[in-house]
């Protein structure tokens, strides 16, 4: 491991990742349950001194490695698209309840494909956050993936999440251009502003929901990709910034619950989206309570190495994480999850997307 990179992180956690095939070096020797460091495990994970230096991790090498889970993401998108399409045809989709003109599948297939990419983006974001929290918090002993594999999967799923969000936004843009009455060039300009410029979309809930989605996308780019230049910006800076990737995830979920027409109304599907946030909240809490880096553990105020302000911040973080879990549980149990009430089926709906 190049010593000048010691302490560099990886796309969504505080772990170190520098060279391909290198074991995720324990930030501290792992404990074995007795409170003593598990030196046997630490020794096992170190490559022998004579082992050839593994290839460095670069954006290019990770892009190549992303092909497999990228294909899986495309397969999932295709399945979701088929389901959404079939629901529109069967007139059971709430997208059509919200926007009756969308019943024409032939005319609006790009919109449904954009929705499908939105779901795979959210699913991949979920997965990569879970992997990141497993890397930076306690990891189940029986996990079938080794540290380096977990890290690599975390990096490739992060890259694929960014690509899926782009596909989601681009297909939405393609749909707007397709139905625009403007000239091709005029439509391109207007659509670019509506889809990619915060504040450019000025109708209904989209006035808030679109900038929330854009914020997720624009934050995901630096917070994920700066990993590949971490030796230039400094591993500490990288790690400090990368922590905020959780904000990207929260914005993505907020955007979905606010704007997704398939989760527009109260019901099991919307509640399931909330339910999926429970494991993330639990892992986040565990990560705060038992961080992989010993320096991040919360000790008594007197024993804490940092300032009292840092200690208070860590304590507030833990209390907030418990609060999030309580709120999630309340939402899931009561089913009061912020969805709109579905209009009766015989309504001649005049709803639009606001
Ligand atoms: C430039 C950024 C973005 C734009 C312009 C955008 C646009 C949209 C639009 C127009 C919808 C409404 C579709 C419907 O009628 O249901 C939507 C829904 C959705 N978006 Fe985004 N979005 C962006 C970012 C994101 C991000 C970052 C994620 C998640 C990682 C995401 C995931 C979703 C999901 C899951 C839905 C629900 C689709 C459905 O109900 O079937 N979007 N987005």
**pLDDT tens track for 97-133:** 999 999 999 999 999 999 999 999 999 999 999 999 9
**C-alpha of residue 98 to centroid of ligand 1, in Å:** 15
270 lines ligand 1 (CB under 6 A): no
Candidate of 260, 270, 272, 352 to mutate for ligand 1, largest count of ligand atoms within 8 Å of Cβ: 260
Atom of ligand 1 minimally distant from the CA of 112: 41
164: left (phi over 0), alpha (psi -120 to 50) or beta: alpha
In whole angstroms, give the CA distance from residue 246 to residue 235: 18
212 lines ligand 1 (CB under 6 A): no
Question: Rounded to 5 degrees, what angle do the CA atoms 282, 135, 57 make?
Answer: 150
Question: Rounded to 5 degrees, what angle do the CA atoms 219, 272, 276 make?
Answer: 50
User: Beta partners for 13?
Assistant: 10
In whole angstroms, give the CA distance from residue 252 to residue 53: 39
**pLDDT tens track for 298-348:** 665 556 666 777 778 888 888 999 999 999 999 999 988 889 988 876 555
Predicted model pTM: 0.84
In whole angstroms, give the CA distance from residue 269 to residue 117: 17
Identify the burial level of 282 via C-beta atoms within 10 angstroms of its C-beta, where 0-12 means exposed, 13-18 middle and 19 or more buried. middle
Q: How far out from the chain centre does Cα 32 lie? A: 31
Contacts with 106 (C-beta within 8 Å, 6 or more apart), sequence order? none
Q: How far out from the chain centre does Cα 95 lie? A: 24
Q: What is the mean pLDDT of residues 247-268?
A: 96
Extract the tokens encoding 68.
């497999």
pLDDT over 70 for what percent of the chain? 79
In whole angstroms, give the CA distance from residue 168 to residue 30: 41
Contacts with 92 (C-beta within 8 Å, 6 or more apart), sequence order? none
Atom of ligand 1 minimally distant from the CA of 262: 40
Q: How confident is the model at residue 28 (pLDDT cuts 50, 70, 90)?
A: very low
**pLDDT tens track for 145-202:** 888 999 999 999 999 999 999 999 999 999 999 999 999 999 999 999 999 999 999 9
128 lines ligand 1 (CB under 6 A): no
Report which of 130, 197, 118, 186 is spatially closest to residue 157, judged by C-alpha positions: 130
The residue with greater pLDDT, 244 or 303, is 244
pLDDT at 18: 45
**C-alpha of residue 244 to centroid of ligand 1, in Å:** 21
Q: How confident is the model at residue 53 (pLDDT cuts 50, 70, 90)?
A: confident
Question: What's the CA dihedral at 267, 271, 273, 276 to 10 degrees?
Answer: -150
Identify the burial level of 352 via C-beta atoms within 10 angstroms of its C-beta, where 0-12 means exposed, 13-18 middle and 19 or more buried. exposed
127 lines ligand 1 (CB under 6 A): no
Candidate of 86, 126, 164, 213 to mutate for ligand 1, largest count of ligand atoms within 8 Å of Cβ: 213
Q: At what angle do helices 105-136 and 245-259 cross, to 10 degrees?
A: 150
167 lines ligand 1 (CB under 6 A): no
User: Beta partners for 19?
Assistant: 56
């Amino acid at each position: 491991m190049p010593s000048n990179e010691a302490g560099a992180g990886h796309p969504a956690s505080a772990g170190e990742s520098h060279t391909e095939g290198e074991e995720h070096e324990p930030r501290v020797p792992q404990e074995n349950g007795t409170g003593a460091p598990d030196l046997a495990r630490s020794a096992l994970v170190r490559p022998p001194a004579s082992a050839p230096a593994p290839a460095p991790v670069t954006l290019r090498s990770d892009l190549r490695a992303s092909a497999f889970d990228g294909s899986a993401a495309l397969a999932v998108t295709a399945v979701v698209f088929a389901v959404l399409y079939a629901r529109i045809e069967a007139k059971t989709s709430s997208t059509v309840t919200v926007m009756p003109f969308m019943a024409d599948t032939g005319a609006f297939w790009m919109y449904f494909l954009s929705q499908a990419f939105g779901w795979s983006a959210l699913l991949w974001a979920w997965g990569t956050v879970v992997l990141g929290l497993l890397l930076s918090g306690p990891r189940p002993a029986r996990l079938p993936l080794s540290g380096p594999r977990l890290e690599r999967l975390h990096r490739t799923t992060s890259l694929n999440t960014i690509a899926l969000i782009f596909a989601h936004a681009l297909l939405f843009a393609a749909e707007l251009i397709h139905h625009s009455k403007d000239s091709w060039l005029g439509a391109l300009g207007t659509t670019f502003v509506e889809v990619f410029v915060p504040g450019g979309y000025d109708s209904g809930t989209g006035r808030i929901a679109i900038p929330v989605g854009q914020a997720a996308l624009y934050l995901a780019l630096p917070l994920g990709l700066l990993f590949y230049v971490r030796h230039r910006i400094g591993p500490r800076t990288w790690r400090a910034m990368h922590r905020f990737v959780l904000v990207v995830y929260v914005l993505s979920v907020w955007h979905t619950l606010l704007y997704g027409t398939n989760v527009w109304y109260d019901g099991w599907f919307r509640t399931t989206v909330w339910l999926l946030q429970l494991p993330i909240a639990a892992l986040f809490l565990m990560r705060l309570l038992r961080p992989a880096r010993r320096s991040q553990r919360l000790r008594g105020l007197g024993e804490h190495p940092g300032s009292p302000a840092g200690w208070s911040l860590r304590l507030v973080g833990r209390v907030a994480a418990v609060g999030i879990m309580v709120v999630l549980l309340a939402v899931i149990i009561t089913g009061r999850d912020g969805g709109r009430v579905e209009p009766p089926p015989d309504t001649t709906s005049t709803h639009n997307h606001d």
